[in-house]
Amino acid sequence: MAKPDVLTAQAADFPQWYQDVLAKAELAESGPVRGTMVIRPYGYSIWERVQAELDSRIKAAGARNAYFPLLIPESYFRREAEHVEGFSPELAVVTHGGGKELEEPVVVRPTSETIIGSFLAKWIQSYRDLPMAVNQWANVVRWELRPRLFLRTTEFLWQEGHTAHATREDAHGYALRILHDVYRDFMVNVLAVPVLVGRKTERERFAGATTTWSCEAMMRDGKALQMGTSHELGQGFSKVFGIDFLDEGGRQQHAWLTSWGASTRLMGALIMAHGDDNGLRVPPRLAPVQVVVLVVKAEDGAGEAADALVASLKGAGYRAELDARTDLSFGRRAVNWELKGVPLRIEVGPRDLASGSVVVCRRDLNTKAAMPLVQVVAGVGRALEEIQAGLLAEATRRRDEGTVAVTSVEEALEATRSGFAMLPGTAVAGLDRQGQDGETRLNAAGASIRVLQRPDGSLPETDEDLDRLSAVVARAY
C-alpha cells in the first residue's frame, strides 16, 4: 500500500508544512484571543525537557530561581528611556480591577528588568552581596501584530535571568558565560542545532541594553531564528532603580546588570531545524520519548515480549513507551510516532519474534533493520547516540552549504533568498548614493544583520569597530 502524504511537503509550502506539523504532531494550537497559544500535552512534554536542560545549566552558572509578579506598575516602565521606548508599542495595560478603574494602570510584564531591578535594589547593599543572580520561569505578554505559534505569540513562556555585578568586566564575563555555557551548550549538545554566536547591532539590541549577544540558527528554509539572547545592561537600570552598593573602599557605586532569556521559540527551532516531510525529528537527548516499542500484532507472545522490552529499556535509563493499542492499525500507529519525531521505534511482531529478533526503525534516516532481541538494549544506546550526532551533523552541513561569503549589500540580499550571507563590516558601514548605510538597505529589502562576528567566527569585543567585523545577514523569523 502506498503511503499517502500526511503533511504538506516542505518544498511545496514551508509555512503550511509548519502548521501541519503543529497540528498532526499534537504540539500546539491557537487560543481564542489573537496571539495566544495552547501548548498540548506532547508539545509541553518537550518544553519540559527544554526547561529541565536549561534549568540545570542556569543553576550550574550560579543563578537561583525565584518568582516576581505578573503585574507591574506602569510607572516602572517610564523610568528607563530606551526601555520605555522599546516596549511601549507591545504593552498590555490593565486599567480596571475589582470593578473599578485603577488609579495607576498596571502592565502585564513583557519582561521583568524593572520589577526585578526594584527588588535587587532592596537586596543589594554591599559589594559582599555581589554578584547576585536570579532566574525566573514565567509567561510574558508582548502584543504582537503578526503572531505565529511558538515563533512569535503575544503570550509566551520563557526563562529570564537577571544579575547584578560590581564591575562592568564581571557583568560582561557573566553575560558571555550564559551565552556559551547555558544557551550554546544546550542548543548544540541537546537540541542538536548549530548556532552562530555574536553581537547584535545597535539597531537590533535589547531596549535598555548596552550590548546584546545572541545565538542564531538557520532553519531548513534558509531563514534565521534568534534562539537566545544575553544582554549587558550597563548601569542604566541601576541608576533609575537605585541598585547601589558600597564598594571595598566605602564608596557608593551603581551595580552593573545583565539579563538573558530563551523562550518557547526554541520549540519552533526544534521543528524547523530538524523536521522533515514525515514530521518532527526530536534529538534523543531532548526527546520525552526516546524509544517507542510497537506491538505489531498481539499474538504468539509479542505483547509480552514488548512489555518486557520496555521494562528493560526503562531499567537501562531510557525514556521508553509501549504502544500496544489494538484499536488502531499498525500503519496508523507507525505514522503517528513518526509525526511526533520519536527517535527510535522498535516493532515487535510474531514473525520476527519467531527468529528472536525485532525491527528497529530510525526516525532520522527513516531506515529499518532487524536486530536480535538480546542485543536491543545495547543497540538502542548506540543508535540514540548516532541519531543525536547525525541530526547535528545534518543541520551543520545544511547551514554551511547555505552560507556564502559576499562583498556587497546587493550580493548579500541575493544570498538571503536561500540562506545566510557573510558580509564584511566595511560593506555594511558604507553609504549608498542616498546616504543610506548597509543595514538600512538590508532592512528595507526584508533582510537583517543577525549578528556581528570577527571574520574567524569568534566574538568581538563589546566596542570592537564594525570595519574589522563580519555581519551574518539573513531573512529572519
Please report, as residue ranges, which positions from 62 to 81 form the binding site for RNA (by CB under 7 A).
none
Q: Which stretch binds RNA (CB under 7 A): 39-47, 151-159, 401-409, 465-473?
A: 151-159
CB of 278 to RNA, least distance (A): 7
Interface residue with RNA among 53, 54, 86, 402 (CB under 7 A) is 86
Q: Which stretch binds RNA (CB under 7 A): 46-54, 60-68, 331-339, 390-398?
A: 331-339
- Residue 257 in the binding site for RNA (CB under 7 A): no
CB of 315 to RNA, least distance (A): 23
- The one-letter amino acid code at 331 reads G
CB of 426 to RNA, least distance (A): 23
Find, among 260, 315, 264, 290, the residue nearest to 383 by Cα. Answer: 290
Cβ–Cβ contacts within 10 Å for residue 416, how many?
24
* Contacts (CB under 7 A) with RNA, residues 435-454: 443-446
- Residue 332 in the binding site for RNA (CB under 7 A): yes
* Contacts (CB under 7 A) with RNA, residues 18-37: 18-19, 24, 30, 34-35
- Residue 91 in the binding site for RNA (CB under 7 A): no
* Contacts (CB under 7 A) with RNA, residues 345-364: 347, 349-353, 359, 361
What lies within 8 Å, CB to CB, of 113 at 6+ separation is 80, 83, 162, 208, 233, 237, 257, 259
* Contacts (CB under 7 A) with RNA, residues 293-312: 296-297
Find, among 389, 351, 392, 346, the residue nearest to 369 by Cα. Answer: 346
254: part of which helix (H) or strand (E)?
Answer: strand 252-254
- The site for RNA, by CB under 7 A, has a size of 71
What lies within 8 Å, CB to CB, of 315 at 6+ separation is none
- Residue 147 in the binding site for RNA (CB under 7 A): yes
> Is the CB of 166 or the CB of 306 nearer to RNA?
306
> Is the CB of 53 or the CB of 155 nearer to RNA?
155
* Set of cell numbers at residue 457: 567566527
Q: Are 287 and 341 in contact (CB under 8 A)?
A: yes
CB of 199 to RNA, least distance (A): 14
- The one-letter amino acid code at 187 reads M
Q: Which stretch binds RNA (CB under 7 A): 1-9, 42-50, 92-100, 127-135?
A: 1-9
- Residue 226 in the binding site for RNA (CB under 7 A): yes
Q: What is the DSSP string of 149-218?
A: TTTB-SEEEEEEEEEEESSHHHHHHHHHHIIIIIIIHHHHHTS----EEEEPPGGGS-TT-SEEEEEEEE
What is the gyration radius of the CA atoms in the chain, in angstroms?
25
- Residue 243 in the binding site for RNA (CB under 7 A): no
Interface residue with RNA among 263, 290, 403, 470 (CB under 7 A) is 263
- Residue 336 in the binding site for RNA (CB under 7 A): yes
Q: Are 388 and 192 in contact (CB under 8 A)?
A: yes
